[in-house]
Structures are given as structure tokens and as C-alpha cells.
A and B are shown apart, each in its own frame.
Chain A
Amino acid sequence: MPEAPAKLARTLETLKSVSDRGERIQLLIDIADRFREVPPQIARRPFPEENRVPACESEAYVWGEARPDGALDYHFAVENPQGISAKALAVLLGDTLSGAPPEQVAAVPQDIVYEVFGNELSMGKSMGLMGMVSMVANLARKQLAARGGTAVSS
């Protein structure tokens, strides 16, 4: 089993140390404020359905952009203007997984969403957020399967 990407592990540790719900929410809102949409050189509207996160009610999209070393940069779009949690998770995943070894990213489990947001997520919300993690992991898997290919379409 590959190690968890180091930046992700550190971020989850930080979040774990914030036990007060209000403080955690504020921290996540601050993270969401840093959300930047996928750059136009990667994708423009209408975004392809193949990049859409399954089951995500916030209409999130994910792309991978290959680096020369084979690692990926992850880009996101969130079409629901009120999708604050989706934006927070997008920033967190983009910051901590971009550039990480794909074999590590491919092994990131979906249930990190509970470490990020706590256990009080509705079923629908958790499924959408887990779908984002799953989609990023799938991109890494495809990159691994491409054995050094440079383009990842979904």
C-alpha cells in the first residue's frame, strides 16, 4: 500500500487538531475562498461530461494535467455558486495532491472527506464529495496505466 501523499497527510493532521466545529468550519471557508477555477487553457464551458464528478450535486468537474515527470496537476470547476464544501475540497485536493506520485494519489481513500468535514455530512453530500476524491484517484490510475503518457482526458 503506497504512503499517503505527504502534503495531504499534514493537512489532515492539521484539520484533526481543530476539534471545535465552528473553528473547523471557518478554516474550511477560508480554504474555499482560495478556490480558482480550471484555467481556460485546460477547459472551457461547456465542460465535458466525462470530467463531471458523479453524484456531486454541486456540479463539480475535475481535470488532470500531466507534468514532465509524470505527476499530475489537478484542476477543478464547481458550477453551483453555493457549493462551498466542494470548493474547499477542490482547493485541498489541488494543493496537496498536485505533483504527488500518481501511485500515492491513486490510493487516496474516499473517506478522507470525513476527516476533512467531520461525520455530520448528509448522505448525498458525502457521496458527492467522495466522488471528487474518487475522480482524482481515477485520474492518477489512468496516468499510471498510460505509463508516461502526457495527456489525461478524464
Chain B
Amino acid sequence: MSAIESRGYSHPEVLVSTDWVAEHLNDPQVRIIESDEDPLLYATGHIPGAVEVDWTRDLNDPVRRDYLGREGLEALMRRHGISRDTTVVLYGDRNNWWATYAYWVFQLFGHDKAKIMDGGRLKWSNEGRPLTRDVPSYPASDYKAPERDDHRIRAFRDEVLQHVEKKRGPLVDVRSPAEYTGERLHMPEYPNEGALRGGHIPGAANIPWARAVNTDDGTFKTADELRAIYQGEAKVQTDDDVVVYCRIGERSSHTWFVLTHLLGYKKVRNYDGSWTEWGNLVGVPIER
């Protein structure tokens, strides 16, 4: 894959290469964070010095369906010795699916010194770079976070309903075609998707999230290739008010990252209630 700087992204600084990470393993201003879908993966070996942020345990409120609040984020960052000036570099399995989710949650608190390692865990591993089972420990920091600010990059159900009814802008459903059409809920032997109804939010285009990455090495596609998908196929333009969603907001955080940072869209919000909320709501419109 070509160098990140040559791919035409609007904000190439949000991505770093595996080479860059290898050169900053001992940089005290950098904290490398692994965030995976598979809860066993970090323990099998991780980038030397990397700490683990587990989406389920670390980023969610343990009782309510919501993300952690200011105090929770402060405790997490302090535990890993991260300050507001620390550059966090996130990487993980599944083409950085969960890494971009953690990145998105960090942005709810404005921690903008954050980057994603292009290609994620698989690229690092396939390049034969070192992995260790040693779990690092860092002196606690005194991280101070602002209150969580949801309004910029997060959408809630009533806002999405208004978005649809007032035709305020496009929606992108990043689930698989079978989920988008509702076919999955009707197929025998398939587990329930956590929703009573199948289908998609009216008007949503279907661009599965993983189309943004190259299948051979997990790196992001070039800006031209991404524009061909999102602007050419989905007809979603840079100045649109865009809402992205999936099942619980995790896959759509990946698409949020692509549209916001790689293509420079001005207003993209992630509807993390997503299909597990919309597909269970009484009376909302659904398309199949």
C-alpha cells in the first residue's frame, strides 16, 4: 500500500503506519492502545508497551446503555498513565473496527491527540513485528477530562427520526446486505439480531463498513477509492449532514472515522442506538 501521505486524505495526520509505531515504542509522549473485538487476543501477545482498552469493560457504563462519563474516562486514562498531552495510538483486530470505536468515544471527550495505526493488528503481525505477553505498567497520570460532549458526533433516536422526517441529510447503514434488507431476521437458524424487526432506516444507503479497507493488508483505501464508494455509489457529499449506524454503533464508528477524517466531511454523527434500538422502537418507519 502507498504511503499514508500520498493517498489524498483530508487529515492524513490521524493515521500512522506500522513503521511509525515501531519507531515510537519507547516515546514517553505516545501511548499505544490495543482495542479488540476478541477479548482473548491482547493476552496472546500485543505490541510491546501497548495497554489494553476493552470496549465492554472500559468504555461502557456498567448499568445504563451509555458510554462512560467524565470520571470514568479520567480513571481509565490515569490508570494507563495517559495525560491530555499524550498522543494515543489505537490499533486492534478486525481492520481496526474496535480501535476506531474507542477513538470515537475518546472524541466525545475531545482527546484529539489520537491516531489509528493503519492496517491494525493483523498488518503488524503479518510483517513479523514483535508481540509480547508482558503487560506494561505506567505511573498514574492526573488526567482531567471535560464533560462528555455528545452533540457534535453522536446522534440519538429522536434526532434520527427528525433527520428522516425532515429529510435533513443522508444516512449510511454500514451493516451487511442481509442485515440491511432484513433478510437475516427471517432466515432459519440465524440468531436474533437483537431487534424485533428487520430492515433499515428509510432512505439509508447500504455501504458495509469494511469496504473502506483493503482486504489484503487491512489498510484504508485511498481517498479517490473512498470517494468513489461514498460519493459515487451512496451519493453522500462532503457538506451533507450525515448519520451513520449499524447494530450498536461499533461498525459505524469506523465509517464515521473514514468520512470525517479521511474524506473531510463536515458533519457526521454516529447513531450508536443503531438497529438494536430502531428495530425495537414502536411506530418508527422501517424500509426493507
Contacts from B to A (Cβ < 8 Å): 36-41, 43-44, 54-57, 93-94, 121-122, 184, 187, 189-191, 193-194, 247-248, 250, 276
Contact = CB atoms under 8 A, between A and B. Distances in A.
Nearest to B194: A123
B191 A54 contact: yes
A54 to B, nearest CB: 4
Contact of A82 (B38, B54, B248, B250): B38
Interface residues of A, number: 30
Contact of B189 (A54, A88, A127): A54
| Most chain A C-beta atoms within 10 Å of own C-beta, residue among B40, B43, B184, B247 | B40
A109 B174 CA distance: 31
Given A55-B190, A123-B276, A26 B39 contact: no
Interface stretch (A2-10, A94-102, A131-139): A131-139
B40 A88 contact: yes
B193 to A, nearest CB: 8
Contacts of B43: 22, 25-26, 29
Interface in A81-101: 81-85, 88
Given A29-B43, A134-B191, 4 more contacts: A84-B41, A123-B248, A127-B191, A134-B189
A26 B43 CA distance: 7
A122 B246 CA distance: 14
A121 interface: yes
A85 B39 contact: yes
A48 interface: no
A117 interface: yes
Contacts of B56: 120-122
Contacts of A110: 191
A54 B193 CA distance: 11
A140 interface: no
Nearest to B251: A124
